[in-house]
Structure 1
Amino acid sequence: MNNIVLFNYARSTAAYRVRIALNYKAIDARLTDVNLLAGEQQQSDYKSKNAQGLVPALETPQGVLGQSLAIIEWLDESYTEAPSLLPGDAWQRAQIRSLSYAIACDMHPLNNLRVLKYLTEQLGQPEQVKTSWYHHWLAQGFDKIEATLAGGNYCIGDTLTMADICLIPQLFNAHRFEFDLSGYPKIQKIEKHCLSLSCFKAAAPEQ
Protein backbone atom coordinates (compact mmCIF):
# COMPACT_ATOMS: atom_id res chain seq x y z
CA MET A 1 0.00 0.00 0.00
CA ASN A 2 1.27 3.45 -0.87
CA ASN A 3 0.03 6.88 -1.89
CA ILE A 4 -1.35 7.51 1.58
CA VAL A 5 -2.46 11.10 2.23
CA LEU A 6 -3.56 12.43 5.60
CA PHE A 7 -5.80 15.48 5.52
CA ASN A 8 -4.63 17.15 8.66
CA TYR A 9 -4.84 20.14 10.97
CA ALA A 10 -1.95 20.45 13.40
CA ARG A 11 -3.97 21.20 16.54
CA SER A 12 -6.83 18.83 15.76
CA THR A 13 -6.96 16.24 18.53
CA ALA A 14 -8.30 13.62 16.14
CA ALA A 15 -5.66 14.29 13.48
CA TYR A 16 -2.96 14.20 16.16
CA ARG A 17 -4.07 10.65 17.04
CA VAL A 18 -3.65 9.50 13.46
CA ARG A 19 -0.22 11.12 13.12
CA ILE A 20 0.97 9.15 16.14
CA ALA A 21 -0.36 5.92 14.67
CA LEU A 22 1.30 6.59 11.30
CA ASN A 23 4.61 7.22 13.04
CA TYR A 24 4.33 4.14 15.22
CA LYS A 25 3.56 2.01 12.20
CA ALA A 26 6.35 3.70 10.21
CA ILE A 27 3.95 4.53 7.38
CA ASP A 28 5.13 7.13 4.91
CA ALA A 29 2.11 9.38 4.48
CA ARG A 30 1.89 12.81 2.88
CA LEU A 31 0.23 15.43 5.05
CA THR A 32 -2.14 17.93 3.44
CA ASP A 33 -3.21 20.74 5.72
CA VAL A 34 -6.87 21.70 6.05
CA ASN A 35 -7.19 25.00 7.91
CA LEU A 36 -10.14 24.59 10.26
CA LEU A 37 -10.02 28.20 11.42
CA ALA A 38 -10.41 29.35 7.82
CA GLY A 39 -13.27 26.90 7.22
CA GLU A 40 -11.43 24.90 4.56
CA GLN A 41 -13.05 21.69 5.85
CA GLN A 42 -16.40 22.97 4.55
CA GLN A 43 -15.20 23.86 1.08
CA SER A 44 -16.53 21.78 -1.78
CA ASP A 45 -13.16 20.43 -2.94
CA TYR A 46 -12.50 18.93 0.48
CA LYS A 47 -16.06 17.72 1.05
CA SER A 48 -15.92 15.94 -2.30
CA LYS A 49 -13.30 13.73 -0.64
CA ASN A 50 -14.75 13.64 2.87
CA ALA A 51 -18.46 14.44 2.95
CA GLN A 52 -18.35 14.71 6.75
CA GLY A 53 -16.37 17.92 6.41
CA LEU A 54 -14.07 17.00 9.28
CA VAL A 55 -10.43 16.16 9.82
CA PRO A 56 -8.72 13.86 9.74
CA ALA A 57 -9.40 11.95 6.57
CA LEU A 58 -7.06 9.37 5.11
CA GLU A 59 -6.84 8.95 1.36
CA THR A 60 -5.78 5.44 0.42
CA PRO A 61 -5.67 3.45 -2.82
CA GLN A 62 -9.04 2.02 -1.74
CA GLY A 63 -10.69 5.39 -1.12
CA VAL A 64 -11.01 8.00 1.58
CA LEU A 65 -11.67 7.04 5.18
CA GLY A 66 -12.85 9.44 7.88
CA GLN A 67 -13.04 9.21 11.69
CA SER A 68 -9.76 8.85 13.54
CA LEU A 69 -10.49 5.61 15.39
CA ALA A 70 -11.66 3.89 12.22
CA ILE A 71 -8.48 5.11 10.50
CA ILE A 72 -6.27 3.85 13.33
CA GLU A 73 -7.91 0.43 13.35
CA TRP A 74 -7.59 0.19 9.55
CA LEU A 75 -3.89 1.10 9.77
CA ASP A 76 -3.40 -1.46 12.53
CA GLU A 77 -5.03 -4.24 10.53
CA SER A 78 -3.39 -3.29 7.23
CA TYR A 79 0.18 -2.67 8.38
CA THR A 80 1.12 -5.58 10.58
CA GLU A 81 4.91 -5.19 10.57
CA ALA A 82 4.80 -2.97 13.66
CA PRO A 83 3.28 -4.27 16.91
CA SER A 84 -0.48 -4.02 17.12
CA LEU A 85 -2.19 -1.03 18.71
CA LEU A 86 -4.95 -3.41 19.80
CA PRO A 87 -2.94 -6.27 21.31
CA GLY A 88 -3.99 -9.10 23.54
CA ASP A 89 -7.06 -11.28 23.74
CA ALA A 90 -10.64 -10.22 23.08
CA TRP A 91 -11.06 -8.88 26.64
CA GLN A 92 -7.94 -6.69 26.51
CA ARG A 93 -8.89 -5.35 23.08
CA ALA A 94 -12.33 -4.49 24.46
CA GLN A 95 -10.68 -2.64 27.36
CA ILE A 96 -8.52 -0.66 24.93
CA ARG A 97 -11.56 0.28 22.86
CA SER A 98 -13.56 1.18 25.96
CA LEU A 99 -10.96 3.69 27.15
CA SER A 100 -10.36 5.00 23.63
CA TYR A 101 -14.08 5.61 23.13
CA ALA A 102 -14.37 7.30 26.54
CA ILE A 103 -11.85 9.87 25.35
CA ALA A 104 -12.71 10.16 21.67
CA CYS A 105 -16.49 9.82 21.90
CA ASP A 106 -17.38 11.18 25.35
CA MET A 107 -14.77 13.86 26.12
CA HIS A 108 -13.53 15.17 22.81
CA PRO A 109 -16.84 16.00 21.07
CA LEU A 110 -17.84 18.34 23.90
CA ASN A 111 -14.60 20.27 23.59
CA ASN A 112 -13.84 20.44 19.89
CA LEU A 113 -13.70 23.57 17.78
CA ARG A 114 -17.26 23.32 16.43
CA VAL A 115 -18.78 23.21 19.89
CA LEU A 116 -16.61 25.96 21.34
CA LYS A 117 -17.32 28.26 18.38
CA TYR A 118 -21.05 27.59 18.73
CA LEU A 119 -20.91 28.57 22.40
CA THR A 120 -19.23 31.90 21.68
CA GLU A 121 -20.56 32.85 18.24
CA GLN A 122 -24.11 31.48 18.04
CA LEU A 123 -24.98 31.46 21.75
CA GLY A 124 -23.01 34.61 22.55
CA GLN A 125 -21.24 33.18 25.57
CA PRO A 126 -18.11 35.00 26.82
CA GLU A 127 -14.68 33.43 26.86
CA GLN A 128 -14.83 32.64 30.57
CA VAL A 129 -17.98 30.58 30.05
CA LYS A 130 -16.30 28.70 27.20
CA THR A 131 -13.31 27.94 29.41
CA SER A 132 -15.54 26.86 32.29
CA TRP A 133 -17.41 24.53 29.91
CA TYR A 134 -14.14 23.09 28.66
CA HIS A 135 -12.74 22.51 32.15
CA HIS A 136 -15.98 20.96 33.41
CA TRP A 137 -16.04 18.26 30.75
CA LEU A 138 -12.32 17.60 31.00
CA ALA A 139 -12.69 17.01 34.73
CA GLN A 140 -15.68 14.73 34.16
CA GLY A 141 -13.63 12.62 31.76
CA PHE A 142 -10.24 12.62 33.44
CA ASP A 143 -11.72 11.78 36.85
CA LYS A 144 -13.15 8.56 35.45
CA ILE A 145 -10.05 7.70 33.41
CA GLU A 146 -7.72 8.20 36.38
CA ALA A 147 -9.88 5.82 38.41
CA THR A 148 -9.58 3.06 35.80
CA LEU A 149 -5.80 3.19 35.29
CA ALA A 150 -3.46 0.71 36.94
CA GLY A 151 -0.60 3.19 37.34
CA GLY A 152 1.87 1.94 34.73
CA ASN A 153 3.51 3.67 31.78
CA TYR A 154 0.59 2.88 29.48
CA CYS A 155 -3.18 2.97 29.76
CA ILE A 156 -3.74 -0.76 29.20
CA GLY A 157 -1.13 -3.44 29.70
CA ASP A 158 2.60 -3.02 29.15
CA THR A 159 2.72 -1.69 25.60
CA LEU A 160 1.51 1.27 23.59
CA THR A 161 -2.10 0.95 22.47
CA MET A 162 -4.80 2.98 20.79
CA ALA A 163 -5.89 4.20 24.24
CA ASP A 164 -2.57 6.02 24.74
CA ILE A 165 -2.88 7.47 21.26
CA CYS A 166 -6.23 8.94 22.28
CA LEU A 167 -5.11 10.18 25.70
CA ILE A 168 -2.04 12.22 24.78
CA PRO A 169 -3.72 14.57 22.25
CA GLN A 170 -6.53 15.18 24.74
CA LEU A 171 -3.89 16.19 27.29
CA PHE A 172 -2.30 18.54 24.75
CA ASN A 173 -5.56 20.43 24.54
CA ALA A 174 -5.98 20.37 28.31
CA HIS A 175 -2.63 22.15 28.61
CA ARG A 176 -3.66 24.66 25.96
CA PHE A 177 -6.68 25.61 28.02
CA GLU A 178 -4.65 25.69 31.25
CA PHE A 179 -6.51 22.83 32.89
CA ASP A 180 -4.97 21.74 36.19
CA LEU A 181 -3.77 18.14 35.88
CA SER A 182 -2.08 17.95 39.27
CA GLY A 183 -4.83 15.71 40.62
CA TYR A 184 -4.18 13.01 38.02
CA PRO A 185 -0.82 11.36 38.85
CA LYS A 186 -1.45 8.19 36.84
CA ILE A 187 -2.43 10.17 33.77
CA GLN A 188 0.62 12.40 34.18
CA LYS A 189 2.90 9.35 34.40
CA ILE A 190 1.56 8.01 31.11
CA GLU A 191 1.91 11.41 29.49
CA LYS A 192 5.53 11.79 30.58
CA HIS A 193 6.44 8.36 29.28
CA CYS A 194 4.61 8.62 25.96
CA LEU A 195 6.01 12.06 25.18
CA SER A 196 9.50 10.57 25.45
CA LEU A 197 8.76 8.22 22.53
CA SER A 198 9.74 9.21 19.02
CA CYS A 199 6.34 8.45 17.48
CA PHE A 200 4.74 11.01 19.81
CA LYS A 201 7.51 13.58 19.48
CA ALA A 202 7.31 13.62 15.68
CA ALA A 203 3.50 13.89 15.73
CA ALA A 204 3.35 16.85 18.12
CA PRO A 205 1.43 19.88 16.81
CA GLU A 206 4.50 22.11 17.12
CA GLN A 207 6.27 19.86 14.65
Structure 2
Amino acid sequence: MRIRNTYADGVNFANGTRDSTVYNSSFRNTGDDALAVWASKYVKDTSVDVGRDNHFRNNSVQLPWRANGIAMYGGYGKTIENNVISDTMNYPGIMLATDHDPLPFSGQTLIAGNALHRTGGAFWGEAQEFGAITLFAQGHDIPGVTIRDTEILDSTYDGIQFKTGGGAMPDVKIGNVRIDKSNNGSGILAMGGARGSATLSDVAITDSAEDDIRLEPGSQFKINQ
Protein backbone atom coordinates (compact mmCIF):
# COMPACT_ATOMS: atom_id res chain seq x y z
CA MET A 1 0.00 0.00 0.00
CA ARG A 2 1.14 3.57 -0.71
CA ILE A 3 -0.36 6.68 0.88
CA ARG A 4 0.71 10.15 -0.24
CA ASN A 5 -0.01 13.83 0.47
CA THR A 6 -2.85 13.69 3.00
CA TYR A 7 -4.37 16.39 5.19
CA ALA A 8 -4.56 14.01 8.17
CA ASP A 9 -3.36 10.54 9.23
CA GLY A 10 -2.25 7.85 6.84
CA VAL A 11 -3.78 5.01 8.89
CA ASN A 12 -5.31 5.44 12.36
CA PHE A 13 -6.47 2.32 14.22
CA ALA A 14 -9.05 4.25 16.24
CA ASN A 15 -11.45 3.37 19.06
CA GLY A 16 -11.58 -0.42 19.59
CA THR A 17 -9.51 -1.55 16.60
CA ARG A 18 -7.72 -4.79 17.49
CA ASP A 19 -5.70 -7.64 15.96
CA SER A 20 -4.72 -5.45 12.98
CA THR A 21 -1.42 -4.88 11.16
CA VAL A 22 -0.01 -2.42 8.64
CA TYR A 23 3.05 -3.91 6.92
CA ASN A 24 5.26 -3.54 3.84
CA SER A 25 3.71 -0.14 3.07
CA SER A 26 4.94 3.37 2.28
CA PHE A 27 3.75 6.73 3.62
CA ARG A 28 4.92 10.13 2.47
CA ASN A 29 3.83 13.71 3.25
CA THR A 30 0.97 12.94 5.64
CA GLY A 31 -0.71 15.84 7.41
CA ASP A 32 -0.89 14.06 10.77
CA ASP A 33 0.50 10.78 12.11
CA ALA A 34 1.47 8.51 9.24
CA LEU A 35 0.53 5.52 11.42
CA ALA A 36 -1.37 5.65 14.69
CA VAL A 37 -3.23 3.62 17.30
CA TRP A 38 -5.74 5.63 19.31
CA ALA A 39 -7.49 3.64 22.03
CA SER A 40 -10.33 6.07 22.58
CA LYS A 41 -12.43 5.70 25.74
CA TYR A 42 -15.52 6.94 23.89
CA VAL A 43 -16.66 3.46 22.91
CA LYS A 44 -19.61 1.24 23.79
CA ASP A 45 -17.75 -1.08 26.20
CA THR A 46 -14.25 -0.12 27.38
CA SER A 47 -13.62 -3.66 28.64
CA VAL A 48 -13.95 -4.99 25.08
CA ASP A 49 -13.55 -2.08 22.68
CA VAL A 50 -9.95 -1.23 23.51
CA GLY A 51 -7.17 -0.79 20.96
CA ARG A 52 -5.09 -3.93 21.41
CA ASP A 53 -2.75 -6.29 19.59
CA ASN A 54 -2.11 -3.86 16.74
CA HIS A 55 1.17 -3.85 14.83
CA PHE A 56 3.16 -1.64 12.44
CA ARG A 57 5.88 -3.65 10.70
CA ASN A 58 8.30 -3.19 7.78
CA ASN A 59 6.98 0.20 6.68
CA SER A 60 8.62 3.31 5.27
CA VAL A 61 7.54 6.72 6.58
CA GLN A 62 8.89 9.91 4.99
CA LEU A 63 8.25 13.61 5.40
CA PRO A 64 5.12 13.84 7.56
CA TRP A 65 4.45 17.56 7.49
CA ARG A 66 2.53 17.54 10.77
CA ALA A 67 2.72 15.23 13.80
CA ASN A 68 4.47 11.86 14.14
CA GLY A 69 5.85 9.19 11.94
CA ILE A 70 4.29 6.51 14.15
CA ALA A 71 2.23 7.20 17.29
CA MET A 72 0.44 5.07 19.86
CA TYR A 73 -2.08 6.46 22.32
CA GLY A 74 -3.11 3.87 24.92
CA GLY A 75 -4.11 0.22 24.67
CA TYR A 76 -1.96 -2.88 24.93
CA GLY A 77 -0.18 -5.64 23.00
CA LYS A 78 1.27 -3.22 20.42
CA THR A 79 4.45 -3.43 18.36
CA ILE A 80 6.40 -1.02 16.15
CA GLU A 81 8.98 -3.15 14.34
CA ASN A 82 11.44 -2.84 11.46
CA ASN A 83 10.23 0.50 10.12
CA VAL A 84 12.33 3.26 8.53
CA ILE A 85 11.18 6.75 9.50
CA SER A 86 12.83 9.87 8.12
CA ASP A 87 12.53 13.65 7.90
CA THR A 88 9.72 14.54 10.26
CA MET A 89 8.79 18.21 10.17
CA ASN A 90 7.93 19.01 13.79
CA TYR A 91 7.13 15.91 15.87
CA PRO A 92 8.85 12.64 16.84
CA GLY A 93 9.60 9.76 14.55
CA ILE A 94 7.93 7.52 17.15
CA MET A 95 5.76 8.72 20.02
CA LEU A 96 3.94 6.96 22.84
CA ALA A 97 1.56 9.35 24.57
CA THR A 98 -1.52 9.64 26.74
CA ASP A 99 -2.79 12.94 25.43
CA HIS A 100 -6.04 12.80 23.43
CA ASP A 101 -7.59 11.17 26.53
CA PRO A 102 -7.09 7.48 25.60
CA LEU A 103 -7.70 4.33 27.57
CA PRO A 104 -4.55 3.54 29.58
CA PHE A 105 -1.50 1.70 28.33
CA SER A 106 -1.11 -1.74 29.85
CA GLY A 107 0.92 -4.89 29.23
CA GLN A 108 3.88 -4.54 26.88
CA THR A 109 4.71 -2.14 24.07
CA LEU A 110 7.64 -3.17 21.85
CA ILE A 111 9.62 -0.73 19.69
CA ALA A 112 12.28 -2.81 17.90
CA GLY A 113 14.41 -2.91 14.78
CA ASN A 114 13.57 0.61 13.64
CA ALA A 115 15.73 3.23 11.92
CA LEU A 116 15.01 6.91 12.63
CA HIS A 117 16.85 9.44 10.48
CA ARG A 118 16.47 13.22 10.90
CA THR A 119 13.39 13.00 13.13
CA GLY A 120 11.96 15.13 15.92
CA GLY A 121 11.22 18.84 15.74
CA ALA A 122 9.57 21.85 17.34
CA PHE A 123 5.87 22.64 17.40
CA TRP A 124 3.17 24.75 19.11
CA GLY A 125 4.89 27.97 18.19
CA GLU A 126 8.22 26.25 18.85
CA ALA A 127 7.24 26.08 22.54
CA GLN A 128 7.80 22.30 22.58
CA GLU A 129 10.81 20.41 21.27
CA PHE A 130 10.40 16.70 20.58
CA GLY A 131 12.92 13.88 20.43
CA ALA A 132 13.25 11.25 17.74
CA ILE A 133 11.52 8.81 20.11
CA THR A 134 9.37 10.55 22.73
CA LEU A 135 7.38 9.16 25.65
CA PHE A 136 4.77 11.59 26.94
CA ALA A 137 2.70 10.42 29.91
CA GLN A 138 0.46 13.47 29.96
CA GLY A 139 -2.19 11.76 32.09
CA HIS A 140 -2.08 7.98 32.51
CA ASP A 141 1.21 6.14 33.04
CA ILE A 142 3.05 4.47 30.16
CA PRO A 143 4.34 1.14 31.55
CA GLY A 144 5.93 -1.87 29.92
CA VAL A 145 7.96 -0.20 27.15
CA THR A 146 10.94 -1.88 25.47
CA ILE A 147 13.09 -0.06 22.90
CA ARG A 148 15.73 -2.26 21.29
CA ASP A 149 17.80 -2.99 18.17
CA THR A 150 17.32 0.55 16.89
CA GLU A 151 19.40 3.31 15.27
CA ILE A 152 18.60 6.99 15.83
CA LEU A 153 20.68 9.24 13.59
CA ASP A 154 20.92 12.99 13.01
CA SER A 155 17.98 13.95 15.27
CA THR A 156 16.78 17.54 15.30
CA TYR A 157 16.72 17.56 19.11
CA ASP A 158 17.09 14.59 21.50
CA GLY A 159 17.47 10.97 20.49
CA ILE A 160 15.15 9.57 23.17
CA GLN A 161 13.09 11.99 25.23
CA PHE A 162 11.04 11.44 28.39
CA LYS A 163 8.66 14.37 28.50
CA THR A 164 7.12 16.20 31.44
CA GLY A 165 3.58 15.02 32.19
CA GLY A 166 1.21 14.03 34.95
CA GLY A 167 1.90 10.30 34.61
CA ALA A 168 5.00 8.14 34.95
CA MET A 169 7.03 5.98 32.56
CA PRO A 170 8.26 3.14 34.80
CA ASP A 171 10.75 0.40 33.94
CA VAL A 172 11.53 1.33 30.33
CA LYS A 173 14.08 -1.08 28.85
CA ILE A 174 16.50 0.27 26.22
CA GLY A 175 18.92 -2.19 24.64
CA ASN A 176 21.22 -2.42 21.62
CA VAL A 177 20.43 1.15 20.58
CA ARG A 178 22.74 3.50 18.70
CA ILE A 179 22.15 7.27 18.98
CA ASP A 180 24.42 9.46 16.87
CA LYS A 181 24.37 13.22 16.32
CA SER A 182 21.57 14.75 18.37
CA ASN A 183 21.92 18.14 16.73
CA ASN A 184 20.26 20.48 19.25
CA GLY A 185 19.81 18.24 22.27
CA SER A 186 21.01 15.22 24.21
CA GLY A 187 21.26 11.58 23.34
CA ILE A 188 18.75 10.74 26.08
CA LEU A 189 16.83 13.47 27.92
CA ALA A 190 14.54 13.25 30.94
CA MET A 191 12.73 16.57 31.35
CA GLY A 192 12.35 18.31 34.69
CA GLY A 193 8.84 16.97 35.29
CA ALA A 194 9.47 13.45 33.98
CA ARG A 195 8.82 10.53 36.33
CA GLY A 196 9.78 6.89 35.97
CA SER A 197 12.92 4.92 35.14
CA ALA A 198 14.89 3.39 32.30
CA THR A 199 17.53 0.65 32.23
CA LEU A 200 20.15 0.85 29.48
CA SER A 201 22.17 -2.03 28.06
CA ASP A 202 24.46 -1.88 25.02
CA VAL A 203 23.50 1.72 24.27
CA ALA A 204 26.01 3.78 22.25
CA ILE A 205 25.60 7.57 22.24
CA THR A 206 27.93 9.78 20.19
CA ASP A 207 28.23 13.38 18.97
CA SER A 208 25.46 14.94 21.08
CA ALA A 209 25.14 18.73 20.97
CA GLU A 210 24.43 18.72 24.72
CA ASP A 211 24.90 15.83 27.16
CA ASP A 212 24.87 12.21 26.09
CA ILE A 213 22.47 11.55 28.99
CA ARG A 214 20.74 14.48 30.69
CA LEU A 215 18.35 14.62 33.61
CA GLU A 216 17.00 18.14 33.92
CA PRO A 217 16.86 19.71 37.39
CA GLY A 218 13.83 18.52 39.31
CA SER A 219 13.41 15.34 37.29
CA GLN A 220 12.21 12.30 39.24
CA PHE A 221 13.31 10.02 36.41
CA LYS A 222 16.07 7.49 37.10
CA ILE A 223 18.41 6.06 34.48
CA ASN A 224 20.24 2.84 35.30
CA GLN A 225 23.29 2.06 33.18
TM over 0.5: no
TM-score, normalization: structure 2? Answer: 0.26
Which fold has the larger relative contact order, with Cα–Cα distance below 8 Å and residues 6 or more apart in sequence? 1
In terms of fraction of residues, the more strand-rich structure is: 2
In terms of fraction of residues, the more helix-rich structure is: 1
